[in-house]
Structure 1
Amino acid sequence: MGSVLTEAITVVDSIRDENLSFTDKSFAFGDEVSMSKLRSLAPIAATPGQTYLNAAFQPPMNLRVRKALDTFLEEAITLPHPKPIWQQRAAEAQDKLARYLNVPTSSLTFTRDTTEGLNLFQRSIEFQPGSNVVILEDEHPNHAYGWLGLVNQGLEVKRIGMNGATFANANTFAPFVDKKTVAIGISSVMFHTGQMNDIKDISATYKPRGIHILVDITQHIGVAPIDLTSWNVSAVAFACHKGLASPNGLGGLYINPVVLKSLKPAPPIVGAGAIANLPASLVADPNVKYHETTKRYEHLNTSLLAAAALKASLTLITEEIGVERLERYLRSLGRELALRCQRLGVKVVGSELASRRAPHVYVLVLLHPGWQKHFQDEKVYVSHYRCGVRVSFGFYNIVEDIDAFARSIQRGIENGIPPE
C-alpha cells in the first residue's frame, strides 16, 4: 500500500510541474501489473479480437456496477418495500461523491444529466439586458446552447476562438471580460481535444470580481482528483455515465454555498423536492419556502437504479483503486500511446505539457475519412471528431491494447490511408 501511495504522490507532483512533457519518463509505468489484474472487471475490454479505447464516450460496464444492478433488480422482485433501501443507498452515493469532490454533501444534488445541471444554474443567475457571458468557441454544445437560450432575454454570449491555443487560463478570457460580464462557462476537460483548462486560475482571477464560474467536469470526474473547495468556482455540473461509469440518466450539480445566496430564490424547475416547508399532508402551501442549500434544485424522483450503480463505481474508483493511482496509470497509458504514435508519424493534438492534458483522452490527427471504416472493420472502438480520432482510456485498458491499436494504424497506413 505504501508503494502505491508513493507512486500517487509522484504523479501528482509531476503534474504540478507545468513544464513537464506528458511523455516524460516520470509517467512511465510503475503499477501496470497490479492494475492489469482489474481488467477482468470489464469483460468487453478483455474480449479477444476487439480493442476498446472509447471510455470518454461511455466506458464498458464493469462487474462492480453489474453486481449493484443485479442486487437492485433482485430486491425489486423479492422485497415488498425496497424503496427506502434504495433511497438510503442513493444518499450514501451522494456522500461518497461529496468526499471525492471535497465539498459538503448539502452543496450537491443529483440531476438527470450535465445539461440539466448546467441549465439549472444558468437560469438561476441574475442578469440585466446587455449583460454578457464568455465561453470558448468550441465549448461543448450542451453548455453553449444553455447560454444561447438566454439571448432572447438580453444576454450576450461572447465566444472566444482558440486560434491554435492548447488550453485556457485566466489570460485567455482577459480581452473579453468587461464590467457587464456575469459569468464564464467552461469545461475543465474539453471533450474533443482532451485539453485540461486551468480552472483554479480562472476562478481566482474573475470570481472576486463578481463573475460566476460555471464548470462542466463531465470528462474530468472519475479519472483524476478534483478539489472543488480549492477551485472555489460558483457551480459545477456533470454526468455520471463517463468516468463514473454509472448508467445514463444520472448527473450532479454542485453550487458553492456562498454563491447560492446570490441566485434567484426560486429554482427554474420547482417540485416538492425544492420545498423546505413541505406540508405533511402534501397539500401545497402558498407560503413557499425553498431549501437554503443546493437541495432546492433536487427532484424527489432520482434514478435510484443509477445511484446504486454510482455508489458501487465510486467505491471501486475512490477506495479500491484510488483516484491518484488511477490518474497515474491513465497517464502512463497515454505516454505509451504517444511514443508509438511518434514512431508511426502520427501527431497527437494538444499541448506537450502534462499539466494541460487530461490523463485519459488523446486525439490523433487521423482525419482522412478512410480511418473510420478501417477502425470499424478492425473492431477498434474509438470516437471520430473534427480534430481527429479520440482515444480514451479506462482502468481496464492495458499496454497490449495500445500495441493492438498501433498495429491497426500501421495496417491502415500500409493500405494507403494517409496518417494525417
Structure 2
Amino acid sequence: MIYLDNAATTFPKPEEVYARVSEVMRFHGANPGRSGHSMALEAGRIIYNSREVVAKFFNIKNPMQVVFTSNATEALNIGIKGVLEQGDHAITSSMEHNSVLRPLKALEKKGIIELTIVDCNKSGEISVSDIERAIKDNTKLIVTTHASNVTGTIFPIEEIAKLSKSRGILYMVDAAQTAGVYSIDVEKSGIDMLAFAGHKSLLGPQGTGGIYIREGLHLDTLKEGGTGSKSESLYQPEMMPDRFESGTPNTPGIAGLAAGIEFINSYGIDKIRTHEEELTKYFIDSLSEIEGVKIYGPRDISKRAPVVSINIGDEDSSEVGYIMDEAFGIGIRPGLHCAPLAHKTIGTFEQGTVRFSFGLFTKKEELDRAIEGIKEIVKSI
C-alpha cells in the first residue's frame, strides 16, 4: 500500500523505534517505580530518560512537568478539565478536533463553564482580534490547535499566547499535527499547556502522548490510583508528574517515543519540514491543474502543515477514498476527520473531504501515483 494517512498515524516508523520497543519489552519489562529490583529500577530510568528527551525537545526546563499519556486526547482532557471550574469561560476555534471540542462541550452541557467558539475563515485561518473580542471577565482558558488536521492551516500560537498572557488567561496548544515537524519552544512561545501525540510526527508508537504543564500551574486530576509514590496515603500525591500518571505506564511505548524524537534530532527537524513542505507544494500544484478538483486550506505552503484535503466534483468523499484504496492501493482518510465544525467552516460538512497527509518517508513517486489515481477518477465521472 501507498500510505498517505500520516495525519492519523505516521507509518512507517524509523527502525530505531521498532528496535527500542522490542528491546524494552524483552529485557526491561517490569513496572517502573513499583519495586526495588534491578529490572524495575531500569524501567524507571527508561521512563525518566524519556521524560528528559521530551523536555529538551520542547525546551521545557523541568522534565517533571512532562506527563506521559496514552494519546493527545487524554492530554487535552487533563488540561481542559483540570483547569476549568464552575463559572469559568473558555475560548476555542471552529477548526478544532473533537479532542478539544468534546471535553469543552461536556463541561458546557453540565453548566460548569461558558464556551465561545471563534469562527475561522474559509481557509481555516483565525483572527487574533476575534479571539480578543471574545474575552470576558471570567475567561480562564484559551485552547487552540497548532495546525488543523483538516486543512493543515497553521495557527499563530505565539500571537495568541502573547494575548493570553497580557490578559492573565491560560493558553493551551494542541500540537498533535505539528510536534516533530515544526519547532515548538514552550518558553519562547509562552505556552501554559502543550498536548502532543507520540504516534504522529514524533514517530513513536500508538498509545503514547503527553502534556506539558507550566510549573506553578495547579490542575485537578482526571483520574486517581497507584503511582508507586506516597503509597501510605489514600489521597493522590501532589508531586509532578505522579499526580497525573496513575497506573502502570506504557514503558515500551514511551521508550519508543523517545527513540522517535532522538531520530528527529539526529535527522534534523528542519530537513523533515522542508521535505514535507516540498511534497505538499508539489501535490497542490499538480492537483491545481486538474479540472474538477477542489483544494481546501491556504495555498501558501508556509501557512499549512503537510495535510491536503480535496473533493472531486460532488462525489462522496468516502466513495473516493474507497476507490483510491481498492483500485490504486493508496491509503487516505475520507470523511469528517473528527472535526465537524472545521468542515462546517470550510463548507464540506455534508460531503466531507478526501485527506492526503505526508510524512518523512513519503516519496514523490507515491504522490505521482495518487495524482494519476485522482485523474482517473475525474475521467470516470
- Give the one of 322, 339, 363 matched to 1:373: 322
Name the CA shift for 1:232/1:68 in 2 (closer, same or farther; >3 Å).
Answer: same
Aligned AA for 1:89?
I
Which residue of structure 2 lines up, in the alignment, with residue 344 of structure 1? 290
- Does 2:45 align with 1:88? yes
Aligned AA for 1:273?
T
**SS of equivalent to 1:347:** strand
Deviations 1:177-203 (A, max 9, x none): 221211111111111111110111011
| Separation in structure 1 between the aligned mates of residue 67 and residue 172 of structure 2, nearest angstrom | 16
Q: 1:169, 1:202 within 8 Å by CA — same for their partners in 2? A: no
After TM superposition, the score normalised by the length of structure 1 is: 0.78
Using the TM superposition, name which of 168-177 and 188-197 deviates more.
168-177
- Give the one of 8, 18, 22 matched to 1:70: 22
Q: 1:188, 1:215 within 8 Å by CA — same for their partners in 2? A: yes
Q: 2:124, 2:148 within 8 Å by CA — same for their partners in 1? A: no
Q: Which has the larger radius of gyration?
A: 1
| Separation in structure 1 between the aligned mates of residue 116 and residue 323 of structure 2, nearest angstrom | 39
Which residue of structure 2 lines up, in the alignment, with residue 56 of structure 1? 7
Q: 1:274, 1:297 within 8 Å by CA — same for their partners in 2? A: no
**SS of equivalent to 2:294:** coil
Which residue of structure 2 lines up, in the alignment, with residue 113 of structure 1? 71
- Does 2:140 align with 1:182? yes
Which residue of structure 1 lines up, in the alignment, with residue 344 of structure 2? none
Aligned AA for 2:90?
V
| Separation in structure 1 between the aligned mates of residue 225 and residue 114 of structure 2, nearest angstrom | 30
| Separation in structure 2 between the aligned mates of residue 384 and residue 77 of structure 1, nearest angstrom | 38
| Separation in structure 2 between the aligned mates of residue 268 and residue 274 of structure 1, nearest angstrom | 18
* Alignment map for 1:79-158 (pairs within 5 Å): 82-104=39-61, 105-125=63-83, 127-129=85-87, 131-151=88-108, 152-158=110-116
Q: 1:207, 1:233 within 8 Å by CA — same for their partners in 2? A: no
| Separation in structure 1 between the aligned mates of residue 81 and residue 210 of structure 2, nearest angstrom | 16
- Does 2:283 align with 1:333? no
Which residue of structure 2 lines up, in the alignment, with residue 25 of structure 1? none
* Alignment map for 1:221-300 (pairs within 5 Å): 221-258=179-216, 260=217, 263-264=218-219, 266-273=220-227, 278=230, 282-284=231-233, 290-291=238-239, 293-299=240-246
Deviations 1:152-189 (A, max 9, x none): 24311122232425312422313322212111111111
| Separation in structure 1 between the aligned mates of residue 170 and residue 186 of structure 2, nearest angstrom | 14
Instruction: Give structure 1 stretches of 5+ with no counterpart.
Output: 1-49
Aligned AA for 1:410?
K
- Give the one of 308, 311, 318 matched to 1:362: 308
| Separation in structure 2 between the aligned mates of residue 135 and residue 166 of structure 1, nearest angstrom | 13
**SS of equivalent to 1:124:** helix
| Separation in structure 2 between the aligned mates of residue 411 and residue 210 of structure 1, nearest angstrom | 54
Deviation at 1:235, TM superposition (A): 0.7
Deviations 1:57-80 (A, max 9, x none): 1122422222112222332689x9
Aligned AA for 2:278?
S
Q: 1:241, 1:247 within 8 Å by CA — same for their partners in 2? A: yes
Deviation at 1:110, TM superposition (A): 0.6
Aligned AA for 1:317?
I
Deviation at 1:373, TM superposition (A): 2.3
| Separation in structure 1 between the aligned mates of residue 84 and residue 2 of structure 2, nearest angstrom | 48
| Separation in structure 2 between the aligned mates of residue 150 and residue 373 of structure 1, nearest angstrom | 37
**SS of equivalent to 1:269:** coil
Q: 2:65, 2:212 within 8 Å by CA — same for their partners in 1? A: yes
Q: 1:218, 1:238 within 8 Å by CA — same for their partners in 2? A: yes
**SS of equivalent to 2:133:** coil
Which residue of structure 1 lines up, in the alignment, with residue 130 of structure 2? 172
Aligned AA for 1:314?
I
Aligned AA for 1:383?
R
Aligned AA for 2:186?
L
Q: 1:375, 1:381 within 8 Å by CA — same for their partners in 2? A: yes
Q: 1:93, 1:314 within 8 Å by CA — same for their partners in 2? A: no
Give the percent of matched residue pairs that are identical in Structure 1 and Structure 2. 20
Q: 2:3, 2:332 within 8 Å by CA — same for their partners in 1? A: yes
Aligned AA for 1:334?
T
Q: 2:132, 2:163 within 8 Å by CA — same for their partners in 1? A: no
| Separation in structure 2 between the aligned mates of residue 238 and residue 289 of structure 1, nearest angstrom | 24
Q: 1:86, 1:308 within 8 Å by CA — same for their partners in 2? A: no
Aligned AA for 1:303?
N
Deviation at 1:361, TM superposition (A): 1.3
Name the CA shift for 1:285/1:183 in 2 (closer, same or farther; >3 Å).
Answer: closer
Aligned AA for 2:67?
T
Which residue of structure 2 lines up, in the alignment, with residue 160 of structure 1? 118
Q: 1:135, 1:184 within 8 Å by CA — same for their partners in 2? A: yes
Deviation at 1:140, TM superposition (A): 0.9
Name the CA shift for 1:207/1:389 in 2 (closer, same or farther; >3 Å).
Answer: same
Instruction: Give structure 2 stretches of 5+ with no counterpart.
Output: 31-36, 337-347
| Separation in structure 1 between the aligned mates of residue 315 and residue 277 of structure 2, nearest angstrom | 27
Deviation at 1:242, TM superposition (A): 1.1
| Separation in structure 1 between the aligned mates of residue 44 and residue 290 of structure 2, nearest angstrom | 52
- Does 2:363 align with 1:402? no
| Separation in structure 1 between the aligned mates of residue 157 and residue 302 of structure 2, nearest angstrom | 12
**SS of equivalent to 2:27:** helix
Aligned AA for 2:175?
I
| Separation in structure 2 between the aligned mates of residue 300 and residue 103 of structure 1, nearest angstrom | 24
